[in-house]
Amino acid sequence: MKKKIAIIAALISCTALSGCSRQTRPDNTDTAEETSVPETTVIRLAQPSNGHVLNIIAEKQGYLADEGITVEYVPVESDAEVFRKMKNGEIDVASNSGTNLPLKYISERMDLTIFAGYLITGCMPVFARAETEWNGIQDLVGKTMACELNMYAISGPLLDMGYNPAEDVTWLQYDDQEERIRAVENGEADFGLVGTSLNYEIISNPDIKILTYASDILPYYSCCRVEAMTSWIKKNPNTVKALLKAWIRAMAYYDAHHEETVKMMSNELGMDEEIIRAYMDNPRFELNTDPMKKSVERAWNYIKQLQPMDQDISRIRIDDHINVDIYKAALDECHRQYGAENQKFYERLQAQFSKNNR
């Protein structure tokens, strides 16, 4: 009997200790999160000249360190270099190369997966010489456009209006986007479109003017997606989740500290604030980590119509190249851990995810 009493007492003691131990653990953690150790602690991120706002914040605020990861920048000169180095294993993640380009490489059988976003919309200006009148994108018909045909934010809405953009507009493609500005200046092209980071060059040029922006033509056009080789994501799901958690927190910081972020970017990139503000102060510059699956699907459907693919490529299921699950796991964990800091922010992201990815 004494032995039985001792055993029961020991069990009660263990249960009590277990209960106390569980109570001392923070309410915002759980076992699953504690075991999500990054498979690799270093992520190689493609780094164009305009930088990465969210990663710079995440680094400066210690969010990357909180997740047990570091990001190494791999400087790149062009988008072609980004995807070449990614294929060769020199870059793990790219985020600033639009949506049309990763979709282009997917159509060419490069096994990429889009797993998050960087910008839902940038402030990509459509511009012309200063004396040009503008009534809408129908003005492009019969004219010359310094931009590639697969820039679906422009050519897609023309399709919706019943035009055949491939035949109704002459598209001039240049390796360097600044050449598009020169083409409009010298009359080689009637219109042009450039990326967000070149806003200052357009605004400060008295010979040309901004007519509209891509996001005014096609709302939520999925400006820049975040992608990696599918094999790398499958090998490193916890690392991907850790990166996204740091970027989600950085987005929350940006929402509340715009001015500080502008100065941070100016110092980090070694650029005058005036250049940075030309796009970061524009309300169309909308940083957002959401994968925006529906917008990517819309873009893919536009591209298939704009550049008809052969029968084999047309069988590609674009949904096989979009992963929203890791982002959702990262968002849920951030919501549990940091929701008390900014409940409305996380509720907004949850609602956005439900609307745009289901």
CATH code assigned to 35-121+223-357: 3.40.190.10
**Per-residue pLDDT, 312:** 63
The mean-pLDDT minimum among 173-177, 201-205, 297-301, 316-320 falls in 173-177
> Tell me, what's the pLDDT at 309?
60
Confidence of residue 88 (pLDDT cuts 50, 70, 90): very high
Q: Residue 306 half-sphere exposure, CB side, CA atoms within 13 Å? A: 27
Percent of the chain topping pLDDT 90? 83
Across the chain, mean pLDDT equals: 90
The arithmetic mean of pLDDT across residues 133-156, rounded, is 96
On whether the pTM is more than 0.85, the answer is yes
pLDDT higher than threshold 60 for residue 26: no
What is the structure's pLDDT at 12? 35
Mean pLDDT confidence for 303-329: 86
Q: Where are the domains of the chain?
A: 35-121+223-357, 125-217
What was the pLDDT predicted at 50? 85
CATH of domain 125-217: 3.40.190.10
Asked whether residue 300 carries a pLDDT value surpassing 50, the answer given is yes
User: Exposed, middle or buried: residue 83 (CB in 10 Å: 0-12, 13-18, 19+)?
Assistant: buried
Please give the structure tokens belonging to residue 337.
């851990």
Instruction: Read off the pLDDT of residues 220-258 as tens digits, 9 standing for 90 and up.
Output: 999 999 999 999 999 999 999 999 999 999 999 999 999
Two domains, one topology: 35-121+223-357 and 125-217: yes
β-strand pairing of 70-75 with 42-47: parallel
